[in-house]
Copies of this chain bind each other. A is one copy, B any other.
Amino acid sequence: MLEFAILGLLHEAPMHGYVLRKRLHETLGMFRTFSYGSLYPTLRRLLRAGWIVEEAVDPGTGWNRRAKRVYKLTAEGKERFAELLADAGPQTWDDEGFGVHLTFFSRTPADVRMRILEGRRRRVEERREGLRAALARAEEKIDRYTRELHQLGLEASEREVRWLNELIAHEQAEQNKTEN
A residues within 8 Å of B by Cβ? 29-31, 99, 102-103, 105-106, 127, 130-131, 134, 143-146, 148-150, 152-153, 155-156, 159-160, 163, 167
Contacts and interface: CB of A to CB of B under 8 A. Distances in A.
B130 A30 contact: yes
Contact of A159 (B127, B146, B155): B155
B102 A145 contact: yes
Given A152-B159, A155-B159, A159-B156, A105 B145 contact: yes
Q: Which 9 A-B pairs have the closest CB atoms?
A: A105-B145, A102-B149, A102-B145, A152-B163, A106-B143, A30-B130, A30-B131, A156-B156, A30-B153
Contact of A150 (B30, B127, B143): B30
B148 A167 contact: yes
A152 B148 contact: no
Contact of A148 (B134, B144, B163): B163
A80 B142 CA distance: 25
Interface class of chain A by DSSP: helix
Nearest to A154: B30
Given A30-B130, A30-B134, A105-B145, 6 more contacts: A30-B127, A105-B143, A105-B146, A106-B144, A148-B163, A152-B160
A30 B145 CA distance: 14
Contacts of A102: 145-146, 148-149
Nearest to A167: B148
A139 B92 CA distance: 26
Contacts of A152: 159-160, 163
A148 B156 CA distance: 15
